Amino acid sequence: DLSGSITTSDVKLNLGGEFIKESTATTFLRQRGYGWLLEVEDDDPEDNKPLLEELDIDLKDIYYKIRCVLMPMPSLGFNRQVVRDNPDFWGPLAVVLFFSMISLYGQFKVVSWIITIWIFGSLTIFLLARVLGGEVAYGQVLGVIGYSLLPLIVIAPVLLVVGSFEVVSTLIKLFGVFWAAYSAASLLVGEEFKTKKPLLIYPIFLLYIYFLSLYTGV
């Protein structure tokens, strides 16, 4: 009579000073070169970033830039150059989309027009600025032009109230356009343009007149 039992010896792995028992199946796979099947990848900290950080959206930065545009007077102490020197995409896009929403008046085509004018109008200002010798990037122009639509958004509810008074409505529209154009021009038109400043300020002013005409339904 033959009797007895066969036992497998445990294999121990030394991981960082600690011994961990390894099963027979694990040992078998490792011996035949399939140990990679048992490897577990560590979680990458970058994969656990919040959504806003993943999309490179800084709400505090956007809020500060909004205040810089709405209050362009140097005496208020804002570092307005951050709007130009640290451009972002999501803030201006949100402003342009919001302006598009309040400009609907039942005609959805105006949304695509406003976005198109924002992109290609900014491109025109950028090309003109480079021709005149300005050191500015397209992303900077895109951000400044987008953020500077905020004054037109501010006057929109006022126009709804005084719309029946033509003179008052016209004055408010002019005020809004001058406000937006001044806010954008003071950031884009630097000292490097010298005597050529009107050549860049004028198209910026016309651009915001066109934005306002899209809002009023023209």
Tell me: pLDDT of 42 over 60: no
**Tokens 């004018």 — which residue?**
117
Is 170 a domain residue? yes
Question: Which amino acid type is present at position 191?
Answer: E
Rounded to whole angstroms, the Cα distance separating 13 from 22 reads: 7
Q: Is the pTM of this model over 0.75?
A: no
Angle at 213 between CA 210 and CA 214, to 5 degrees: 90
Rounded to whole angstroms, the Cα distance separating 102 from 121 reads: 20
Is 33 a domain residue? no
What is the tally of structural domains in the chain?
A: 1
- Alpha carbons within 13 angstroms on the beta-carbon side of residue 105 total 11
pLDDT, residue 28, reads 64
Is 82 a domain residue? yes
Tell me: pLDDT of 139 over 70: yes
Region of residue 213 (phi > 0: left; psi between -120 and 50: alpha; otherwise: beta): alpha
Is 41 a domain residue? no
Is 109 a domain residue? yes
Is 42 a domain residue? no
pLDDT, residue 123, reads 92
- Residue 21 forms beta bridges with which residues? 12
Mean pLDDT of the chain: 77
Going by C-beta distance under 8 Å and a sequence separation of 6 or more, which residues neighbour residue 188? 84, 125, 129, 134, 136, 140, 141, 144, 200, 204
Find the mean pLDDT for residues 19-39: 61
Tell me: pLDDT of 55 over 70: no
Find the mean pLDDT for residues 31-43: 60
**Greater pLDDT, 120 or 3:** 120
Is 7 a domain residue? no
Is 26 a domain residue? no
Containing domain of residue 178, as a range? 57-214
pLDDT in tens, 88-124: 888 888 888 888 887 776 566 677 888 888 899 999 9
